[in-house]
Amino acid sequence: MIDGFFGGCTPLDAVLASTFDCLYNESCLEMLVDYFPQLSSTDLAWTNPLSVSSQKTQSLKNILPKLFVENWSTNISYSKYFIQCAPVSCTYTETDQISLFYTISLFLSIYGGLCIILRSTALCLIYVWMKLKRYSINNNNNINIGIYFEYNEKR
């Protein structure tokens, strides 16, 4: 049996009850390599730095809610960053989610703007269309009258 690995009714139950004891022990890892020959190409030198972890004896079920984070420290120093990295430029991007209120007000404002624009342009277009219609009617009458006079003169 391998240290830290347990059996269960389902594979998920077994994995959640298991710990990482074997993964921190080099002799246990070598035993795993004997069972799984594909692991022989794996470098086992990485086990030493991990041996200080306090989570190696905890079950996976206890570690998962913490997402494997043992210690989260936030120490932000923008002045040290700019001194060390000396960036040429700095940009700032803010991403917001569009709210329902913003979406409704945007559609209403677009609708109102289109109504105003279409009312003013429709009046202008109708005025231009009426002028063109009158102009074409007057030209057709002049042409018809000219044709009538030419026809009468030929007789």
How does pLDDT run across 90-127, given as a tens digit for each residue?
788 888 778 889 899 999 999 999 999 998 898 888 88
Identify the helix (H) or strand (E) that includes residue 128: helix 100-154
Tell me: the pLDDT tens digits for 74-99? 888 888 888 888 878 878 888 877 88
pTM, 2 dp? 0.31
Do residues 23 and 58 make contact, with C-beta atoms less than 8 angstroms apart? no
Higher per-residue confidence, 5 vs 108: 108
DSSP state, 97? P
Under a CB-based contact definition with an 8 Å cutoff, are residues 28 and 22 in contact? Answer: yes
> Is the Cβ–Cβ distance between 70 and 50 less than 8 Å?
no
Ranges of each domain in the chain: 1-68, 98-155
Tokens, residue 78: 């923008």
Determine the 3-state secondary structure of 58 from DSSP: coil
User: Is residue 55 within 8 Å of 19, Cβ to Cβ?
Assistant: no
Rg (Cα) of the chain, in Å, rounded?
42
Count Cβ neighbours within 10 Å for each residue of 97-115 and write b for 16 or more, e otherwise.
eeeeeeeeeeeeeeeeeee
